[in-house]
Amino acid sequence: MKTKTTLYSGLAAMGLMLCLSTQPALGNVTVNVLPGNQVALVGGNVVFTAQVSATAGETNLRYTWLMSPTNQNPFTTISGATTATCTLTGVQTNDTGFYFVRVTFDSGTNLGITQPSAAVKLDVYDQARIITQPVGGLIRVAGSNASFSVTAAGSLPLGYQWRLNRTNLTEGGRIAGATNADLTIAALVAADTGSYDVVVTNAYSAATSQVATLIVYLPPDISVPPQNTAVILGSNEIGRASCRERV
């Protein structure tokens, strides 16, 4: 009886060993996203790369890239990103968020095993840029006013600095809006003639507008006014005045 028990125990142990030896070991796959967190400007391109480390000859790797603005569900699948590299072209501020890759692979007879990476963050900032340029070609008489304006966009706050012939204008006196989007020069004088532009800045870039010109002219000065004259009907008489140009 003891012999039969020993025989049965030995057969059971052999069967268990045979059963275990035929089960494929699950692969150990780790996935990382390089280069990690990134910062980009609007209109730029961003590249993420999946780094996969496998230990058991895993095969048939498939990639799915996903993102979420808050790193919480729901995650959105990125269309067309099905390789180890995810390229985002012409990014916008709404591309800011968290990105990760889900790698699906086969290990022996175990098919469709999934391993996600940790998420990395992308921040997209809007650089300062000119939307509407200041209009030049202004011709104004001395003593009048002239105005320039610019429309700009970008991540706030935006800074403005108007310049005359590339020299910064200072707020005060006849100058209003030297550091705003709208500039006004009051009581124009000949020295206000020149080329005006504005530099718009934010934390990420600076943009310079196109040049807008202003010409200030002085009206002629009448030095001798015309005199009252009696005219005989049928005669010729010319009234005269003496004029000289102001300088």
Q: How confident is the model at residue 58 (pLDDT cuts 50, 70, 90)?
A: confident
Output the six-digit token pair for 50.
């999946």
- 55 near 25, Cβ under 8 Å? no
Q: Which H or E run contains 175? A: strand 175-176
CA 156 to centroid of chain Cα atoms: 12
Choose from 29-33, 55-59, 132-136 the range with maximum mean pLDDT: 132-136
| 165 compared with 1, residue with greater pLDDT | 165
pTM of the shown model: 0.64
- 47 near 85, Cβ under 8 Å? yes
Output the six-digit token pair for 57.
């000859």
Residue 26 has what pLDDT?
Answer: 54
What is the residue whose two structure tokens read 């025989």? 7
Output the six-digit token pair for 154.
């970008």
What would the pLDDT profile of 32-56 be if each residue is shown by its tens digit?
999 999 999 999 999 999 999 877 6
CA distances from 169 to 108, 150, 193, 199, 219 (A): 74, 16, 13, 11, 26
CA distances from 171 to 95, 125, 146, 160, 162 (A): 39, 30, 15, 12, 10
The whole-number average pLDDT for the span 15-30 is 50
Distance of alpha carbon 34 from alpha carbon 48, whole angstroms: 6
What is the residue whose two structure tokens read 């943009």? 207
- 31 near 51, Cβ under 8 Å? yes
The whole-number average pLDDT for the span 149-170 is 97
Output the six-digit token pair for 168.
């910064």
The whole-number average pLDDT for the span 123-133 is 96
CA distances from 3 to 9, 10, 15, 16 (A): 10, 11, 18, 20
Residue 226 has what pLDDT?
Answer: 60
What would the pLDDT profile of 216-232 be if each residue is shown by its tens digit?
999 887 565 666 656 56
Residue 17 has what pLDDT?
Answer: 39
Number of continuous H segments (helices) and E segments (strands) in the chain: 1, 22
Residue 81 has what pLDDT?
Answer: 96
Choose from 10-19, 99-108, 177-186, 232-241 the range with maximum mean pLDDT: 177-186
Range in 11-20, 131-140, 216-225 the model is least confident about: 11-20
> Quick count: other Cβ atoms within 10 Å of Cβ 42?
19
Q: Is 204 left (phi over 0), alpha (psi -120 to 50) or beta?
A: alpha
The separation between the first and the last C-alpha atoms of the chain, rounded to the nearest angstrom, is 134
Across the chain, what does the average pLDDT equal?
Answer: 85
Whether the CA torsion 185, 187, 190, 191 is positive or negative: it is negative
